Amino acid sequence: MNTITYRCSKALWLVGIVIPFALTFICIASLDSYNWPSLLPVITILSAVVVYYCRQCFTYDLKDKAALLLDDEKLIYYIDNTVIYWKDVIDISYGKVCGQGLSIFFTINKEGIREKRVCVSTDLVAGCDRAIYNDIIARYVKMRRKAFPAV
């Protein structure tokens, strides 16, 4: 199998950047000498949301980086700088997050009997959530078949 690369989702820009920016602009436009103490925290929070999403989404596209990369050996989730090797994965499961995509959970064998759970979210990844999950499962199954051939 070849390497599969998923880019950062541009649809999230509308929610994460444009809407908070517009709300911040509306709050600034409605400032006067009486309501500025109550609007200042709202403007600060909305500005922080815009900066967060710009950092998460926009900068990845400008650098022309992938958000998620799958190959025969590992999964690389560039948004959180996470590398998961298929040989270390014990179990894969998923959960739906309130209209924001899938959270794919990897149970990874650490040292001896210790296990670690790692989450990869598809809300910042462009593509169909189910297709991304199916590609991950296909890579994992292929690696398991290669590591443990049928007797």
Q: Are 89 and 108 in contact (CB under 8 A)?
A: yes
User: Per-residue confidence at 84, pLDDT binned at 50, 70, 90?
Assistant: very high
What per-residue confidence (pLDDT) applies to 7? 83
- What burial class does residue 82 get, using C-beta atoms within 10 Å of its C-beta: 0-12 exposed, 13-18 middle, 19+ buried? middle
Q: How far apart are CA 145 and CA 106, in angstroms?
A: 18
The domain limits of the chain are 8-62, 70-147
Q: Write the CATH number of the domain with boundaries 70-147.
A: 2.30.29
Better pLDDT: 143 or 20 = 143
User: Per-residue confidence at 13, pLDDT binned at 50, 70, 90?
Assistant: low
User: Per-residue confidence at 54, pLDDT binned at 50, 70, 90?
Assistant: confident
Residues β-bridged to residue 109: 115
Q: Are 61 and 7 in contact (CB under 8 A)?
A: yes
User: Per-residue confidence at 99, pLDDT binned at 50, 70, 90?
Assistant: low
16-20, 34-38, 81-85, 147-151: which is most confident: 81-85
The DSSP 8-state label assigned to residue 151 in this structure reads: -
pTM of the model: 0.68
What per-residue confidence (pLDDT) applies to 77? 92
Three-class SS state of 124: coil
Token look-up 């990844």 returns 125
